[in-house]
Amino acid sequence: MNIAVLGAGAWGTALAIAFAPAHRVRLWSWEQPQAEIMARERANSRYLPGASFPEGLEVGSDLAWAAADADLLLVATPLVGLRPTLRSLKAAGLAGTVPVLWACKGLEAGSAKLPHQVVAEELGADHPCGALSGPSFADEVARQQPTAITLASADGELAARLARQLHTLRLRIYAHDDVVGVEVGGAVKNVLAIATGIADGLDLGLNARAALVTRGLAEIARLGEALGGRRETFMGLAGMGDLILTCTGDLSRNRRVGLALGQGKTLAQTLVDLGHVAEGVSTAAEVAGLARRLGIDMPITAAVDAVLHHDLPAAEAVSQLLSRDPKPEQG
């Protein structure tokens, strides 16, 4: 296939590297100077140091060039860039009926909309599209370490075809049809990774981490089912798999945010030090607000939102969680 990967951060670059041996891949960066550096160095030293570009991978900053003759448009920007990228594609007449996948996770700031809702608004509800999600660190994908992810589309045939075409020996892709479930799992796990990072930063121990992961999964399932997702989805790669990886892996940016907060650093300084987007920071406010509007109990998410956006000290947030009345586990 001819694949346009739109977004040259760590994840977009890793996917471009993974797909380039079998497909013609063009990697698009909105920053012309960054694209020129990557083209010259044959690497993305800014966001994915140590990973060289394979032969044939093209890099540029011209959107029309990147999308020309594309069989697949893969949007790998942070979520905040999804809508502007789609609008640019549509305005330039580049989207057409070309299938669009998105690899960004979260809820849109200000609207709390999931990515598929943004795509429907910008390209139309009938545009062929799907979500790419699951337990995957960009660094490991770029280094061809074994990874399994999910490709979800409401069009089951499209999901199966694209999964088959994109599947490699080292990047296993499983087709799925529960887009909402896959998106909710990918969004909320980032918030919960901040929670487990806070607990680790406060040195609360492995038991506390396991409790947060497990009860966090219950929060994901409650919200996901309320929005139309299926419970079994949250037991799979895009639910439990992504949650475990992001909450325990040292490469997790969201976990690193939590660690810093638990160690007493400010959010502003933490984000400067991180140098990357941590989607859980903005997603926490949107998920917490959505849960309140829907009447869904998500205490861990609410606590993370309070720490991030309402000046609640991390230790106090933990105390509030621990002081909650006991209840049945399935409640």
Active site residues: 189
Sign of CA dihedral 101, 106, 109, 111: positive
Instruction: Pick the closest to residue 86 from 1, 4, 205 (CA basis).
Output: 4
- CA 95/CA 127 separation, integer angstroms: 9
Q: Tell me phi and psi for residue 176, to 5 degrees.
A: -150, 160
Q: Residue 152: name the closest of 128, 187, 125 by CA.
A: 128
